[in-house]
Every structure is written in C-alpha cells, then in structure tokens.
A and B are shown apart, each in its own frame.
Chain A
Amino acid sequence: MNILVCISHVPDTTTKVKFSENNTKLDTAGIQWVINPWDELSLTRALELKDDAASGVKKVSVAHVGLANTEPTIRKALAIGADDAYRVNAEAFDAHQVAAELAEVIKAGSFDIILCGIESSDYNGSNVGGMLAEFLGYPSVSGISHLGIEQEKVVITREIDGGKQQLTLPVPFVGIVQKGIAKEPRIAAMRGIMQARTKPIHVSEPKAADAQTSVLNFEPPEPRADCKFIDPENPKELITLLQNEAKVI
C-alpha cells in the first residue's frame, strides 16, 4: 500500500502578512515558508503507519504544485521521512488549479491513500482534497481525526457535528485530515536531513489547468473598537455592560 501526502507551502503561522503592488500581491520579503501544519501532521501519521509493518504501507510520497523556489519545503518533507516527492512545476493561483495538477500526478502513479490537510493556513480554503477526489472519481472522507489500516481496509474516525463516527472503507480514497490525526509533527533528524539530499523529486510540467478565481486585492480586517477596561475590583460591571451596552446576554 502506498500513501501520497499533498503538501502546501505556506508562510509560517506567526508571520505578520503584508501586501505589495497596491495591495494586490502578498509581500513575500522576509517570510519564512513552512509545510502547512495540517499536512505536516498527515505526513507524520503516514510515516507512523509505514513504521508499523502490520499496516502494509510500503511507501510514503509527497506531492506539491509550485515553482522551483518551493523545493526547500519539499526537501523538509523528505528529511522528515517521505521516500520521494512529486513537484508540478507551476505557480498555482487557486485550489482548482492545484487539485487538477495533483490529479494528473496521481493518475500517472500508483497510490492507494491520498491525504490532504483540512485547510491551508494561507488562503483557508479547505478545497483541494474534495476537488481532487472528484477529479479522480474516488470516495473522500473529511474531518478525519484517526486513520488506521486493517486487512487492506482503512479504519477511520471522522468528526461530525457534535460527535464522531467510526468508518471503514476500501482504497483508493482521499482523506482530508484534521486535529487528532497525529499528536506532534515529526521532526527531521540529522540523518534524515542528510538522506533527503539524495531522495528523488520527480518534476513534471503542468497540464495548464486554468484558475477559476482571482484575487483582486487584499485589505486589513476591519479594525476592532478599542478595549474597554473594567475595574478589577468591580468585575460585576462587565456583566452589566454586556447586558445593557453590548446587549448580548
């Protein structure tokens, strides 16, 4: 069984985002790029499964749509433990384009489980996984908080509104993962970093899928009203204000 983890390359979560060219582009100066936190957790879970011989997982690959400047992020995934990587050489402008390109990689390869994170921490779309499944005609399960393999079938816990469901399903399938899938992201060890240098990154050219959306401009969120401080000696005043001023209780 082979697992493919789709990884997104995003600004570090503590980045103070700034925009350039009249607020139409993300100003990338000084940004630290990282693997999207969710994708890092998916990769961790995939590697845990590979470590467990009983799971039958033989290979863990990662795939990414991006130009050559994203290779450090891909090398990081290889250093963490992925066996090889696929990069589609394109600058993607929306989820549709990313999913269409990833679908080509998957059709040309042999993968049983395809994992995506619930959303990327930059454009917060949560769309690539579902789109990919539809392009491939595979079943998909979202909100996965646990993933195991038993007798060639995947065993999943998915989060539903106000509860959980245990499911089983055959491969191939696309899994969209969220919190719980792995406890802590796996960190690259020195040996992994050395090995990553020689692991293959298979680069392919895009099939030129078009973006369906475009960002016209960015703006800062609406400023919030300044904080009104309440005397700590009289916290009851807060409840009075919430009732009479904000009218929310």
Chain B
Amino acid sequence: MSVIVYTENWDGLFKKQTFEIATYASKLAEMLNTDSIAISIGNVAEEELGKLGNHGIKQIISVTDDKLKHFDGQLYTKVIADIAVKESAEVLVLANNNCGKALAPRLSVRLQAAIASAVHELPESVNPFKIKKRVFSGNAVSLNELKTKTKILTLAQNSIDIEEMPEAAAIETYTPDLGDLVSAIEVQETEKQTGKVLLTDAEIVVSGGRGMKSPDNWAPLLELAELLDGATACSRPVSDEGWRPHEEHTGQTGKIVAPNVYFAIGISGATQHLAGVSSSKYIIAINNDKDAPIFEAAQYGIVGDAAKILPQLVEAVKELKSS
C-alpha cells in the first residue's frame, strides 16, 4: 500500500504547490498507516528531487524518457498508472492545476478509482473514505464518499500549509513501458510569459474592475502589485473591453485563484466573479458603493473612490518598505 503523489516540474524546478501536495500526501499516508511516494517525470536534478523528502516523502520515482518531453495526457497516464499498480497505491494525489486536471480523470478510468477534485482539506475519515469539496462555485461544500478501492484526489492550490517532516527519501529511476505508444500531439510552438509573477502562483493579487473607469487609470494598481510582489487580475468586463489582457480575467469563466490576499478594486462582487476568488484567505474591497456585494465577501474594506485611494496605498507600501 502507498499514497502516490505526482509532482510536476517547471524547467526542472518544483513550486510551492508541489510542496503543498507532498505535505498533503504524507499526512494522508499517516492516516492510512502507509508511506508516501512521489513520481517525477522529466529532468529534475537530484538535489531538487531531494527537497520532497523535507515534506515526508519516503521514496521518489524519477522517470525520464524522450517520448515524455511534452505533456501528453495519454502517455503520462500510462506511466503513472503503471507505477500506481506496482506500488499498490491506495490514493493518488495531484495538484488541481492544468496538468492535474487533465490526468486525474484519465487515471480514474484506467485505475477504476473514484475521484474528488479540488479538495481543500484531508479526508474526514479514510474507512469509509469521506472527504469535503467545494461545489456550486464556492456557494456550498459537499461531503462525498469515494467507494472504490483506489482513490484519486486533486488538491486546490494554497489550501493547506506546507509542513517540514524530514525523511531521507530514496531516489529510484524507473524506465517506463510505453510499448509502441507515441504522442498524437505535435507541439508547434510554446510561448512562456517571463519575468512576471504568475497569477495562479501569486500570494498577493491586485485586481481591478469596471470601477477603475478607464484603462488609463491602471498605473497605480500595477505599481501596488509590483511593490507587493503580486500579480494583477481583473473582472470579466474589463478583459472583454480589452482594458486588460484575457489572461488576467478571474472568476467562474476565467481563472480560479486562491491567494493569501485578493484586492478587489472597483469590482462589484457578482457571484460569477466571486466563484473564482472566494477561496482567497483575505479579500480586500475598495468600492465607492457601501452596499456592493463584494463587502459581504471581504474582511477589510474601504468605501471610497479607487482613484483617490490607490495612490495612498502605494505610498503606504513604499513607506513600509523603506522603514
């Protein structure tokens, strides 16, 4: 028996979310009286792999194969499922990001394993296996029972604290048996955003809505985000109008984010917007309408004109940084 965690890498490096899922898998393994094993696909240096041991991982299975250079759901599923069978995995844990969302359902069919996606805490019980997840875009939580022998979980980002549980993790290399399977996907071109904090990774997000009035008013918002090492975001009408790029749109039909702090500036707080941001630890609302629904979701609020307040916040953060 084991708990298997699939750890994705970005140009050979792990991210905060990797250590979150490693911590989660190790704590779950404890509940099941078993060990947590990590799978890594691609070139990751031993030193980087070893970091997983800080979070309770007992064994690391490293897979490198030219056929696995680009992400392909079908091939990656084969590799992870084969290892899961070999290690008698009882639970597989993945991040609830693009790759995790692509792999978890395929693995579920292949391993006849029930799935709970975007979970945000450990199971309530492991026998029977009961776990909570958010449903109806954050408007309710459901308690679910997973009834199969093997189970698959994807963990929502930023939902648990990373913990240090040092283990001397053994690294093992594994040669995948891909037979004559080849990827049907031909990658023509990859564009990567560089030098900016990614919206889905950011601890602090500064987001603007229609209350910002015009695309020309964004300078202080961008400055605030930069000073706080944060990312910028916006509401849907703002990206629809072309005031800001589409990648910044958060909400039900945009990106789902869960930073520590989400500044909603000139955003009314429509249910569809909140659906993408309501798991943030702190929501800060700045809005000139004291009855705007965003204040019901916020922990801190300022009723006032964003154009007047933003520059003062920028000043305050500058003072804080220089003190």
Contacts and interface: CB of A to CB of B under 8 A. Distances in A.
B5 to A, nearest CB: 18
A14 interface: yes
B219 interface: no
A17 interface: yes
A236 to B, nearest CB: 4
A99 B185 CA distance: 23
Contacts of A82: none
B271 A19 contact: no
Contact of B282 (A124, A159, A165, A246): A246
B156 to A, nearest CB: 10
A122 B135 contact: yes
A128 interface: yes
A86 interface: no
A70 interface: no
Contact of B316 (A38, A94, A235): A235
B115 A95 contact: yes
Interface string A32-69: 00000110000000000000000000000000000000
B147 to A, nearest CB: 6
A20 interface: no
A185 to B, nearest CB: 10
Contact of A162 (B109, B148, B198, B298): B198
Given A121-B137, A212-B148, A215-B144, A168 B186 contact: yes
Interface string A117-136: 01001111111111101110
Contacts of B301: 227-230
Interface string A1-41: 00000000001011111010000000000000000011000
B180 to A, nearest CB: 14
A111 interface: no
A125 B106 CA distance: 13
Given A13-B137, A127-B108, A163-B191, A213 B145 contact: yes
Q: Which bracket fits the contact residues of B?
A: 35 or more
Contacts, number: 260
B249 interface: yes
B188 interface: yes
B134 A221 contact: yes
B26 to A, nearest CB: 24
Nearest to B74: A139
A225 interface: yes
Contacts of A180: 246
Interface stretch (A72-80, A187-195, A237-245): A237-245
A230 B300 CA distance: 7
Given A13-B137, A235-B302, A235-B316, A164 B144 contact: no
Given A128-B105, A213-B115, A242-B261, A14 B271 contact: yes
Contacts of B272: 13-14
Contacts of A224: 283, 297-299
Contact of A159 (B98, B109, B110, B144): B98
A238 B302 contact: yes
A248 B282 contact: yes
The dominant DSSP class at the B interface is mixed
Given A124-B118, A215-B143, A141 B185 contact: yes
Contacts of A228: 299-301
Contact of A143 (B98, B137, B298): B98
B48 to A, nearest CB: 17
Q: Which bracket fits the contact residues of A?
A: 35 or more
The dominant DSSP class at the A interface is mixed
Contacts of A220: 139-141
A166 B189 contact: yes
A159 B10 CA distance: 15
A173 B101 contact: no
A214 interface: yes
A227 B148 contact: no
Given A125-B117, A162-B193, A213-B114, A169 B185 contact: yes
B296 interface: yes
A9 B98 CA distance: 24
A248 B261 contact: yes
A131 B189 contact: no
A225 B304 contact: no
Interface in A157-199: 159-170, 173, 176, 179-180
Interface of A: 11, 13-17, 19, 37-38, 94-96, 99, 118, 121-131, 133-135, 139-143, 159-170, 173, 176, 179-180, 211-222, 224-225, 227-230, 232, 235-236, 238-243, 246, 248-249
Closest 8 CB pairs of A and B: A130-B105, A232-B304, A212-B114, A134-B109, A163-B192, A236-B316, A239-B316, A142-B102
29 contacts: A14-B272, A16-B139, A17-B139, A95-B115, A96-B115, A121-B136, A130-B73, A130-B104, A130-B105, A133-B74, A139-B183, A142-B73, A159-B98, A161-B198, A166-B189, A168-B186, A169-B185, A212-B113, A215-B142, A221-B141, A224-B299, A227-B285, A229-B303, A232-B302, A235-B312, A236-B312, A240-B316, A242-B261, A249-B228
Given A127-B108, A166-B189, A213-B114, 7 more contacts: A130-B101, A133-B106, A165-B190, A167-B185, A224-B283, A229-B300, A235-B316
